[in-house]
Structures are given as C-alpha cells and as structure tokens.
Structure 1
C-alpha cells in the first residue's frame, strides 16, 4: 500500500484552519471569519492610534525642540536641517532593516503563494513612517496605515491557518481598517478595499468581514484620537446647478496633475535604481544616504515655502477656510509639492501618497476657483468661491492618482457630510480617473505606498483558459464519508476534488479545509453533505479574464473547466477538462508577459539600423 505523503507536502499550504484553537469548534466557518475580521479591525485601529500618537510626540517633542534650538543658534535658515537630520536617521534605519516589510503588492503575493517569504515588520514600518513625517518629509500617513492593516490581516490569517483566498480577504479587511482609522471614514475604507486592494465583488461573509473590520477600526480610532475627522472642512455652498459643467474642467486639470504625479514618482524610482540617464548619478548614491539628500532638498525648498513640509493638513484646512495665497504662490506650491513628494517616495522615506494627492488637489482647486472668479462672467452663472473648488479638487486628484473614483468621492462625502457636494464630486473625480487611465493606460498605481500593482489590463482578455489548465488530480465517489474522502485527498496530494455519483455525473466540489472542518466535528459525515453543490464553471475558449472574474465574485481559489458548449445542469466526468487556479493563471500571465517582452526586444533588433564599414 502506498504511504500517503505528509500534509506539509500538499501544494499551497497553509490551507486549513487552526484546529488546535478551541474557537474553531465554537463557531461556524463564516462566524469564525467574522471573528478574525473583528480582530483585524481592533488591532489595526490600535496600531493606527499608536502610530499617530508616536508621530505627534516626535513632531511636537523631539523635532520641535530641535527646531527651536537650531533657530536660536543659526536663525530661520536652520529649518533646512530638520528634514536632513530626519533623512540621516532614516538612513541608519535602512542599514538595520533594508526593507520595512512587504508592500500591498507583496502582501497579496504572500497570500497567493507567489511572493516569497518576506517577514512582516509592522512596528518597524510605523516607526519609520512616524520619523519620516515628524521630520518634515513631504508624505502622508495613510500608506503606512493601509499597509500595516494589511500586515496585521495577513498575520492573523496565518495564525488561524486560513486558506489563501481568506488570507487575501483579511488583507483587504486590514486595508479598509487602515483607511477607516486614518481618516475616520469607514465607508470609504470599505470601498477602498474592494475597489483597489481586492479588485473584486465579493458577496456574503466577505463583505461583512470588511465592514466589521472598518467599523471597529474607526471606533478604536475615535476612542483613542477623538471623533473629529482627519481635517475639518467647511460647508459646501451651491450657487447654481448650471455651475456643474465647470467642475468638468477641474476634472480635466486634475487628471493632468495626477498623471504627472504618478509619472514623476515612477521616473525618480527608476533613476534611483540607475535605470535612466539621470540614474547614472542618483543610482550610485548609497541607499542609506538617499533620504538625507531628499531631506536636504525638502528643507531648502521649505525655507521659501514651509507649506511643503510634512503631511500638509494645516495648509489644506487653510485653503478650504479661504486662506489667501497669490496665484503665483499656488502654482509654485503645486509644482514644489509634486516634485518633493515624488522625491521623498523614491529616496526611501516611509509614508503615503494620499495626503499629498489631496494637497495637490486643494491647491489646484483653489487656483482654478481663483481663475473662474477673476475671468468668468459671473452675471451668466453664479460662481462658487475657491474653497468649494478646492474640496472637489482634492477628490479629483486623488481619484486620478489611485484610479479609485468611488473611494475618493465617498471619502470627501464622509469628511463633509454634505450631500450637495456629491454631484460635483462625481463629475470631477469620475472624469479625472477616466482621463488619467487614458493618458497612462499601462501605468500602475503600485508606486504609491498602500496600493497594489495592477497587471496590464488586456493581457488576461487575450489568453484562453487552456494556457493555465491543470489536470484533475482527484475524483471522489459521493458515497464516501468525510474521513475516507480526506484520506484519498491526502494520498492524491491535492487541495480540492470533484465529487461524482455512480453514473459518473459531477455533483459538487470539496476542498481540504472543508474535510478538515468535518473531521474535527463529525468524521463520518456523508461527503455530499460537505461538498459545495452549486459549482461555478469556466468553459474552454473563454478568456482568463472571465475565469478571474468568476473566481473573484465568490472569493474562490480555483475553477473547474468544461469542454465548450457543455450543459452545466448535467455535467459528465468526461466533459471536465481540468482546473484553473490562481497559481496557474499567475504563471500563464507571467509567461505571456515575458513572451511579449522578448518579441518587443526582437522587433527592436530587427528595426535597428545596421552600420557597415565603407570599403
């Protein structure tokens, strides 16, 4: 008799639940998932509270003392030394921890089993972000908040030995909790998780898990930091419905700013990696000295424009309250903040891009509102004041930067709590995101911390499911019990199996976690009572995009593949061609990308001019 392989050798571990934990026996799988999501929300909320308190302590304590001391010694010009000192300390941290844990893209890769085994370093990342922001780096706190929530979600999912799809779900719940606690905006946090991180339309317990995490995280943040939003906004004033088309012009400008913002971040990151012409110089600078260089430049610019320092919420609140700045100052602030934020992100400071995007939007909106009030004939259409356009501009630039218009719209709606702003927000943010996607169609928003990388959108559309097809490793007769089925599944070294009756008709699907749950409760439970009977299929000839969409709808890890034209109401075993799962799809996409790169390289070689020596 063949000895079954050990469970550790089964592909795609970890896949089950933590059966030694007594909580598993007390709750159903869905209830246990919601309990874990509550833990993610509470722990993320507590982490964000600690993060903000640490940042404020460093900012108001250490760096304020340094500022006063240096000013007494060398005057106002010594302000430039504060970001420089922060950059030097950041360089020391980089020598200790070359990486501060995985990004959102890395977390998703870890959950799917394609991201190696990078350690999770939530405390180190939050400390580095606190130091960066307190010293004046031109960044925001939201990126570290989102990534810390994702780290905690993955850590809790690993502790509970959850399946990969549920690990991914708890990462999304942690990201939602990070936004909810950071902005005191739980609704925007939920939409951020589904629109940006998960990129899915999960239903049922999945939505509930993200909701619970966001609500509890916001509750903890309100208890620890107060119930006020991240920054206060004035009432939005509607002058006339005829003014709405003017917000479309703001959306067009916002798309240009957000596209420039993302492009500059990417260019500077490539330069520090030595991949561009300017990178011949920047690429030679040691990683530990790059934050100091960026800090010095930030400090020098801050001597003339101190508004570029740090998060910038004070400047945003000032613009929204009607603070008077000259048009030239607004333009210079827009250019300076854009460049310094890209420089800080690329050089190694730890922070996020949300707050800078909203800063850019507020400045752009103020300038746009000033132009309208100065040159537009108000006798035709009543024009709102510049602060109204600043509010809408914040959402428009944010939507274009993260390609998430719903998140941006709901975030500003939660901050203002004013329904009258919704129509201008929808017009400007929707147009900005659409145009930004057209201006840079192959761009990804992974350059901003807290945001995952998106693959080239047309690649899954042009690949059929056959390129990712894997054979069915295990068939289970429907008359087996749970313990018998588990033994056969382990012997086949498979994560999932199809269940069939004595007439060779496919009746359902069962996974390793399903059988493990039953084994701990009722080992002799009939297999048909455990299996999922409502199967979702994909047919040969359909695209990988179709398969991904169907897996995303239910949060599935795999789909069975049928021969083209098969009636799904009565499927015979012979009609099943195999499986596609997330790992096989990822491999197929990676190979297709590599093939595209090779073909492009060969095409460039064929079209390159050939020089020959003259006789």
Structure 2
C-alpha cells in the first residue's frame, strides 16, 4: 500500500474535522518547506564556496583573467541539470501534468532538479535571486501533500499558497510578508472565490508561514537580512522627495521587467537581427550568459550573484560614488536580464532589491548635492531602503508584500510612512503605464485562476442568457424599480418603442437616487430614461470570454448585454459573471476527465503489450527447449505448447475485453461532452435568425 493510501486510511479511522486536517497539513507544509528552503540556501553557499573560493583562487593565481571561466563552468553544469530537467518535463507532458495544473496540482517530479539547478546557477554567479525558487519549492511541496492526501482542487490550491508563503517566509525570515504574498499574489483569485471560510484559509497560510520561518530561524539564525545604521526622517517636508523616488522606481521597475522579456525573446531567436539564436542549443546559450557574468566579475564584481553584500554595504553608508552607482544600476539590470534569458535558474526578488538600493542611494546622494546644506534631509541609506521596497513592488506587483517584507527584513519602523508613500505611488504609476493591465484585470476581477487560454476557447454564445430582464425607457421609475426588485434582478436592459437598446438600469442607480435629497422632478414623476445609464458596454456572440472580460473589467461590470455585430442596437442575450465562472470550471473538469481516460488507455495498452510479449517469449523458449529433446518427449512438448497457448489466448481475450470496455466508456463520455458542447455552440447559429428580444 502506498504512503498516500496509508495517510488517507489513518485519517479516515480518526475521522477528524476538515479544519483539523487542514491545520495538520499546514504544519506539515511549514516544516517541510522550511527544511527544504534551509537546505537550498546551504546548497547555494556550498556552490559559492566551490566556485568562488576554491576554483577561483586556483585560477586567479595563474591568470588573473581566468576568473572569467568560473561562471562559464557553472553554466555547463547547469546545462546538464537543465537537460535532465527538460527530459523529465517532456515525460510529464505525455501524462496528465498539464491538466493537473489546471485543477490546482503542480508537477512535483522535477522539484529536486529545479532546486539543484537554481542553487548551481546562483552559486556560479548568475545575477538572480533565491526567493523565486524558494516560493516554487514551497508551492510544489504543498501540491504534493495535497495530492497524497487526495484533497479537492480547492484545498490543493490553498496548500499551494501556504507552501509559497512558507517558502518566502523561510527565504527572507519574514513570516508576515509571506502571508501577504500568498494572499496578494498566489491566492488572489481563489481566496476571493471561496467565501465560505476565509478565516480558515488565512489561518492555514499563517500557520505554514510561521512554522517555516521558525525552522529557518533555528537553522540559519534570527538576525534580520540587513543591518541598518541609525537614521531618521529629518522633516515632514521631505516626503515629496520620497514621492519623486517612487516615480523613478516605477521607471526602473518597468525597464527591468521589459529587459527580462526582451532578453528571453533574444535568446529564443525572436529578434529580427538575431534569428540564429533559435538554432543554438541550451548549453551554448548558457555559455553566452556565463561569459557575460564572467566579464562583469572581472570589472564590477559587486553586480554578480545575489548581491546582498552590496546592498548591505549601501545600507551601512559605505562610500559609493554617484558614477559608480549609476554604472551598477545599468549593469545589474542588463546582467539579470541576460542571466534569466540565457537559461540560468533563479528569481527576481533579489535583483529588484539590489536595483532599488542602488537607485535610492544614487537619488539620496544626488539630492543632497543639489539642495542647500540648510535643508535637513535623511542620509542616503534611508532613500536606499525606500527604493528597495518601491522597485520590488513595481516588479512583482505586490505593494503590501513589499512594504511588510522590507519592514521585517530591517525591523525598523522609522521609515514606514515614506516607504508606503513611495511604494503606493510606484504601483499606481505602473498600473497607468502597463499595457498588460487588461489581462491582469481579468484575473483580479473575474475570480478565476490565471489561465487565459481556457477563457479564449469559450465563446460568449455558449454561456449567455437568451432572455434577459428588460423594460421600456418610458416606464415610470417606481414601476421599473418594483419590476427589478420583485424578480431579484441586478439590472434590466432599457429599450425604446422599436426594441432598440437605449441603456441599462441597475439596482445601484435606484439606491443612489433613493438616498439622494429630494429634487426636481419628484421621484413619482420620473421615468426610466431619466436615470438609466446611456453608455452601455456590449459584447458579441462570437467573441471569447477573455475578450469580453477585458471590456467588463474596465468598469467592474457584473454582466453585459450581447448584441448583433451588424446591428449594435439589437440585443440577443446577456452574459454574467456566474455563467462565465461556471463555464470555466466546466471546461477544466472536461479536460481532467479526458486526461484520466487517456491515462487509463495508456495503462491498459501497456499491460496488454507486456502480457503479449511475455506469452510470446514463453512459447519461444518452450519450443526451443523441446526441439532438442528425444522423440519420447513429444507428448510433454505437446502438452506444454497447448498449456501455453491456452494461457496466452485467455490473457489476450481478457485484455481485449478490458480495452473494449474502456473504449466504450471513453466513447460514451466523449459523446456526452460533445453533445453538450455542440448544443451550446449551436446557439450562435440560431441567434442570427432569432427575433429581437422584446421588453
């Protein structure tokens, strides 16, 4: 019996409550994640010791420039691990891993290889951070435990978030920031969707984060990540200066994220000037990245690796000239993009913190040299700390996590107000400049996991309602209000006398009017056209859910009318949030069922092939053995052949029955799913011949 079955059997005998099971699971996730992240950090230190203390010393004693080869050697080692990792992912893609990810399960067979690749990448000097792999390690541990316990997809998603929080808490020794990271980033959608027990969900994440941080503190120590000198905000008039730093941080964060994307496009051969990169193998790309890291190690060693030593020096007010800080800012940004694009494994938390510290120190020194000495301002480490949080918030799009993370890493409350001001302004500026805002708003608004592909495959015609509530624009307002509330509608479409769409009337419009002071004309004399919303956002039946949700998210709409593309005033249906959520979950369920059927077929076919091969080998061996015997063994030879033949036929017959039964099951399920899907898709064809909806 497998370990998962033993655990399930044990829990079934104890019959604990669901909350108790999740509590125990959270503790297990915290302990395992904390232990895993601790081992991961020690593995990074071991790799750094091997590369930059043992190997680099030997090479530099002979040739000073030979340090260039240290990152290149690390790149070769990482390429070997990446090759094994790609093989494991290719095998997983042939199974049900892609569908399992949709229902909240992550592939966990590659966890050791990914962790090893990240440790070797960071140890060899790649300009990345350990926090991303730590979060991924914790998330995979949560997923693995949920699968072993045979939890539902919702509980597995919760354990994934708890594991991610535990990974971040152990990596930064910051349990509070880990909790907010899980709720703000990892569980943003599922936490909004699960309204039944939000407190229980938070408690699971909190417990996992605290336990993981405790394990990390026991192993690595309790000191904060950075030690700060004594400083203070000199004047409240200094706050606008921090707001200016927030604007600069938004620019750096935007350039940083775009540089990473462009570097990945370059190494993928998508640049017009470098199509040859597509033909290069992964080891060659990693060697290019390692060569760039080695060049920087010869000239600006402060910029390679995780970079926390440089950040610590900046916060301790170690003298860095303005030109040097400007060079480090540019080099670190480009080197991180090259390291990520070439194939090294790591996160972007640490590089973001590095860029923020350099930017803040540069900004603080610059304004100190510009402003008169009579104006009191804080020292440059204060601006460095604010810059760290602002750039991190702009890069990972998690302002609350950034504020709490920097607070826990430094354990200094004196800078919180400027910190929050700069982070908030940075996040706001990036929201205005980000051209991918629509896709992110879909996921934040729609209460759905971030899987745009599923939404793009479903048409509006499959989920819309054909008979939405509607009223005349000349109807008295009180009568229209009674109609909407009596039918428990959230809104009603407003039509004119020839059934053309004129607007929409919502319960919010009615409540706003009722709560306003009495005016002219009186409420009893008003009609629907006096207060209805004239500018109505509409969608079309042939659009995908993703396209419609982008439009709905701009105004946070609950529902939207579906109109004829050729006649925009002719309404043919209504689509709402509940229908979209139902369609999304149904699509995931269909994919899971199809994957299970495919896996069953593969198992049966493998069993059948193995049985046939065994029978064939047995028959061949018996025939060869009997051919060398004397004639008086003919009867025995005949009996052995007959026995083997009958056994082989019986086995093949049973296997054929199993295959036929499985094929019938697969055909039946696929027919049912296709019938339901076709009936929904045929709505779109029927719409074009239908009459306009009458109010």
Q: Establish whether TM, by shorter chain, passes 0.5.
A: yes
**3-state SS of the aligned residue for 2:417?**
helix
Within 5 A, what are the aligned runs for 1:51-66?
A: 51-66=40-55
In the other structure, the counterpart of 2:277 is 282
**C-alpha distance in structure 1 between counterparts of 2:46 and 2:168, whole Å:** 22
Task: Verify the 8 A CA contact 2:88 2:110 in the aligned structure 1.
Answer: yes
Which of 437, 441, 444 aligns to 2:435? It is 441
**3-state SS of the aligned residue for 2:39?**
helix
**3-state SS of the aligned residue for 1:283?**
helix
Residue 21 of structure 1, CA deviation:
3.2
**C-alpha distance in structure 1 between counterparts of 2:24 and 2:314, whole Å:** 42
Structure 2 portions without partners, runs of 5+ = 91-95, 441-447, 466-537, 550-558, 560-577, 591-676, 678-695
Query: Using a 3 Å threshold, how does the CA distance of structure 1 residues 583 and 120 change in structure 2: closer, same or farther?
Result: farther
State yes or no: 1:340 paired with 2:364: no
In the other structure, the counterpart of 1:421 is 415
**C-alpha distance in structure 1 between counterparts of 2:580 and 2:394, whole Å:** 40
Deviation readout 1:274-314 (Å, 9 max, x if unpaired): 22214403222211221111011111022111011110000
**C-alpha distance in structure 1 between counterparts of 2:449 and 2:68, whole Å:** 35
Tell me: higher relative CO, structure 1 or 2? Use CA pairs within 8 A at least 6 residues apart: 1
Query: Using a 3 Å threshold, how does the CA distance of structure 1 residues 28 and 132 change in structure 2: closer, same or farther?
Result: same
In the other structure, the counterpart of 2:102 is 112
Which of 314, 318, 327 aligns to 1:319? It is 314
Relative to structure 2, which stretch is displaced further, 292-301 or 353-362? 292-301
**C-alpha distance in structure 2 between counterparts of 1:139 and 1:84, whole Å:** 16
Task: Verify the 8 A CA contact 2:52 2:70 in the aligned structure 1.
Answer: yes
Residue 120 of structure 1, CA deviation:
3.1
Query: Using a 3 Å threshold, how does the CA distance of structure 1 residues 259 and 72 change in structure 2: closer, same or farther?
Result: same
**C-alpha distance in structure 1 between counterparts of 2:319 and 2:372, whole Å:** 22
Which of 303, 306, 313 aligns to 1:308? It is 303
Residue 244 of structure 1, CA deviation:
0.9
Which of 412, 418, 430 aligns to 2:424? It is 430
Within 5 A, what are the aligned runs for 1:526-605?
A: 580=582, 582-584=584-586
State yes or no: 1:328 paired with 2:323: yes
Residue 37 of structure 1, CA deviation:
1.1
Which of 71, 82, 85 aligns to 1:94? It is 82
Task: Verify the 8 A CA contact 1:55 1:133 in the aligned structure 2.
Answer: yes
Which of 80, 92, 102 aligns to 2:68? It is 80
Residue 70 of structure 1, CA deviation:
0.2
Count of aligned positions: 464
**C-alpha distance in structure 2 between counterparts of 1:339 and 1:90, whole Å:** 20
| Structure 1 stretches of 4+ moved >6 Å | 99-102, 106-109, 462-466, 541-545, 576-579, 585-588
**C-alpha distance in structure 1 between counterparts of 2:167 and 2:211, whole Å:** 11
Relative to structure 2, which stretch is displaced further, 91-100 or 409-418? 91-100
Which of 183, 193, 203 aligns to 2:172? It is 183
Deviation readout 1:197-216 (Å, 9 max, x if unpaired): 11134612110000000000
In the other structure, the counterpart of 2:153 is 164
Task: Verify the 8 A CA contact 2:108 2:144 in the aligned structure 1.
Answer: no
Task: Verify the 8 A CA contact 1:120 1:151 in the aligned structure 2.
Answer: no
**3-state SS of the aligned residue for 2:582?**
strand
State yes or no: 1:392 paired with 2:380: no
In the other structure, the counterpart of 1:404 is 398
Query: Using a 3 Å threshold, how does the CA distance of structure 1 residues 281 and 118 change in structure 2: closer, same or farther?
Result: same
Task: Verify the 8 A CA contact 1:179 1:185 in the aligned structure 2.
Answer: yes
In the other structure, the counterpart of 1:569 is none
Residue 435 of structure 1, CA deviation:
1.2
Query: Using a 3 Å threshold, how does the CA distance of structure 1 residues 465 and 155 change in structure 2: closer, same or farther?
Result: farther
In the other structure, the counterpart of 1:259 is 254
Task: Verify the 8 A CA contact 2:101 2:107 in the aligned structure 1.
Answer: no
Which of 14, 35, 40 aligns to 1:46? It is 35
**C-alpha distance in structure 2 between counterparts of 1:465 and 1:361, whole Å:** 48
**C-alpha distance in structure 1 between counterparts of 2:350 and 2:449, whole Å:** 20
**C-alpha distance in structure 1 between counterparts of 2:13 and 2:395, whole Å:** 41
Query: Using a 3 Å threshold, how does the CA distance of structure 1 residues 31 and 84 change in structure 2: closer, same or farther?
Result: same
Deviation readout 1:357-410 (Å, 9 max, x if unpaired): 00000000010001110002343x421111110000000000000110000000
Within 5 A, what are the aligned runs for 1:19-38?
A: 19-22=8-11, 25-38=14-27
Residue 86 of structure 1, CA deviation:
0.4
In the other structure, the counterpart of 1:486 is none
Deviation readout 1:248-288 (Å, 9 max, x if unpaired): 11010100100011001111112222222144032222112
Query: Using a 3 Å threshold, how does the CA distance of structure 1 residues 48 and 327 change in structure 2: closer, same or farther?
Result: same
TM-score normalised by length of structure 2:
0.62
Which of 207, 226, 230 aligns to 2:221? It is 226
Task: Verify the 8 A CA contact 1:111 1:165 in the aligned structure 2.
Answer: no
**C-alpha distance in structure 2 between counterparts of 1:107 and 1:231, whole Å:** 40
Query: Using a 3 Å threshold, how does the CA distance of structure 1 residues 455 and 401 change in structure 2: closer, same or farther?
Result: farther
Task: Verify the 8 A CA contact 1:235 1:418 in the aligned structure 2.
Answer: no
Structure 1 portions without partners, runs of 5+ = 1-15, 446-451, 470-540, 549-560, 562-575, 592-615
Q: Highest CA radius of gyration, 1 or 2?
A: 2
Residue 142 of structure 1, CA deviation:
0.3
State yes or no: 1:71 paired with 2:72: no
Residue 454 of structure 1, CA deviation:
5.2
